A = this chain, B = another copy of it.
Amino acid sequence: MSISMSSASLPIFRTGLQNLSHILAKGLASAQARKFDPQVLVTARLAPDMLPLSRQVQIACDSAKLCVARISGVDAPKFEDNEASFDDLTARVAKTLEWLESVPAAKLDGTEEKEVTIPTGRETTRTMKAEAYLKHHALPNFFFHMTTAYAILRHNGVELGKLDYLVGAR
């Protein structure tokens, strides 16, 4: 059986977000064990002009959500980007997972040639076929923000290994 648009998106985002949730749990546990305010990690950055952990998690969630919404045509809930703690961020991941589970695979399948338009700036957009959008934009973007979240925690001494990213808590 060949790969479908749903099988090339939903399970990848689901596994990634579950693993992100696991990585966040290890971040929180590390701050508690080392007895410092977990907020330090929530607002930590790899460079002064890079986004902090909270935004990396929000964008990873939205990469998955917006990809599935744009391809399937199913409206996605808007989230306020007001998460300010590990608990908030974990809840954001859970809400995103819950919505992804609600999207029928059939709404994604057969959309390879569908045109998808994404914003590239305040007044500019880019249009591409759904298959190219998934493979060359949405998936790389999703993993970019997941890995950056991991890297922020790892840089700050959280004991993470690549299996936490690839396999998660299982």
Contacts and interface: CB of A to CB of B under 8 A. Distances in A.
Interface of A: 1-5, 7-8, 11-12, 15-16, 46-47, 50, 112-113, 131, 135-137, 139-141, 143-144, 147-148, 150-151, 154-155, 157, 162, 165-166
B8 A135 contact: yes
Given A2-B3, A47-B157, A112-B1, A162 B144 contact: yes
Contact of A151 (B3, B46, B137): B46
Given A3-B3, A4-B2, A151 B140 contact: no
Q: Binding site of A, secondary structure by majority: helix, strand, loop or mixed?
A: helix
A112 B3 contact: yes
B143 A140 contact: yes
The oligomer's copy count stands at: 2
Contacts of A8: 3, 8, 135
Contacts of A12: 135-136, 139-140
A140 B154 contact: no
Contacts of A150: 144
Contacts of A7: 131, 135
B1 A3 contact: no
Contact of A148 (B1, B135, B151): B151
Given A12-B139, A139-B143, 20 more contacts: A1-B112, A3-B112, A3-B135, A7-B131, A8-B135, A11-B135, A11-B136, A15-B136, A46-B155, A140-B143, A140-B166, A141-B166, A143-B143, A143-B147, A144-B162, A144-B165, A144-B166, A147-B147, A147-B151, A151-B151
